[in-house]
Amino acid sequence: MYELKIITQMACAHQLREFEGRCENLHGHNWKIEVFVTGEELEPNGILIDFKRVKTATEEVIDKLDHKFLNDLEYFKQVNPSSENIARYIFRALEQTLNNEMVRVSKVTAWESDTACASYAEP
């Protein structure tokens, strides 16, 4: 199995609901987002998927979140804007545009600090 990863980042504000701790207050993070794609077979040219395609698709998703107050977005009115749910949101959006017979999104990781991250993955 081949695995590729791209890294990007976004700056957002959030305020967790039903959470006792510092994240219940309005604040922001510079999230580092990692996107993993996997596949069993390479193209004849020896690549799994052009990194640029993964980066472009990810930027399109991130654009909707970057420099926003996440709680204001329709999706996060229903779903708490935790790093876990941010990772899942990005995963779900990316699998729509990137998945095909050869390649699939396997994991998205959202780092909310240098030492803490949450991932959403499908085996």
The closest residue (CB) to Zn ion is 23
Point out which residues bind Zn ion (CB under 5 A): 23
Whether 117 sits among the annotated catalytic residues: the reply is: no
Nearer to Zn ion, 37 or 70 (CB): 70
Nearer to Zn ion, 49 or 62 (CB): 62
Query: Of 29 and 107, which CB lies nearer to Zn ion in the complex structure?
Result: 29
Residue 67: active-site member: yes
Sheet holding 116-121, edge to edge: 2-14, 27-39, 104-113, 116-121
Question: Which is the catalytic residue, given 12, 29, 34, 112?
Answer: 112
The answer to whether 112 is a known catalytic residue is yes
Residues catalogued as catalytic: 23, 67, 112
